[in-house]
Structure 1
Amino acid sequence: MSAEDLEKYETEMELALYREYRDVVHLFSHVVETERRFYLANSVDVRARQDSGEVYFEVTMEDAWVWDIYRPARFAKNVKVVTFKDVNVEELAKSDIELPKEGFRPR
């Protein structure tokens, strides 16, 4: 496989991952960014810990989706991340327009 083929493959995988993200983002309430990964989750708990003078963060998520093109399964029931770097957690804004629960019915 040439370098050009590899680059094309990775570009296609990133595009497919973005499309998956776009399709599932509405299922989640939080976005979590760490130095290594980007997550969507419905429950997030961040705790600062200290050990031998070093501060680190323990992030626990439930019902998560992981942005990673190399993971065959991106949905995870529980995720635990330990990091010495920054953690960013944002609550996703819900759309002002809610779709009917029964689904669309043409007139």
Structure 2
Amino acid sequence: MSAEDLDNFESDAELHLYREYRDVLKLFKYVVEVDRRFYLCNKVDVQSHSTGTDVYFELTLTDAWVWDVYRTSRFIKSARVVTFKDINVEELSHSDADMDIPSQF
């Protein structure tokens, strides 16, 4: 496989992922961004934990979709996410169905 073939494969995979995102966005209530992933979900529970001077967040997502080009199945029943970085949880409105993907992706 040449470098050009690999670039084309990755571009096609990302385009497919973006199209899938646009198709499923209306099915979900929340957008959740963490340092390494982007999720859509219908229920999210965020717990913050302190250990000395460190703080971390534990998220429990239910009925979720994962932005990950390498996953064969992006729909998941539930997930537990732990992160030491900032998180962003937004509730979608019906008008958000026309929004673009986040700039980091």
Same fold at TM > 0.5? yes
The corresponding residue for 2:28 is: 28
By how many angstroms is 1:63 displaced? 0.1
| Greater C-alpha Rg | 1
1:54 is displaced (CA, Å) by: 1.2
Calculate percent identity across the aligned residue pairs: 62
Q: Corresponding residue for 2:76?
A: 76
Alignment of 1:56-71 (within 5 A): 56-71=56-71
Per residue, is there more helix in 1 or in 2? Answer: 2
Amino acid at match of 1:53: T
- Which residue does 1:8 correspond to in 2? 8
Give the drift of 1:94. 1.7
Which segment drifts farther, 18-27 or 47-56?
47-56
How many residue pairs were aligned?
A: 95
Match of residue 45 from structure 2 = 45
* TM-score (ref. length: structure 2): 0.87
What whole-Å deviation, never above 9, does each CA across 1:8-54 have from its counterpart, x for those lacking one?
Answer: 10000000001111111000000000111000000011111012331
Secondary structure of the equivalent of 1:41? Answer: strand
CA RMSD, aligned part only? 0.9
The one-letter code matched in structure 1 to 2:40 is: L
Per the alignment, in what secondary structure is the counterpart of residue 8 of structure 1? Answer: helix
Aligned amino acid, residue 68 of structure 2? D
Gaps of 5+ in 2: 96-105
Instruction: Tell me the secondary structure at the aligned position of residue 40 of structure 2.
Output: strand
Note the residue ranges of structure 1 that are not aligned, 5 or more in a row. Answer: 96-107
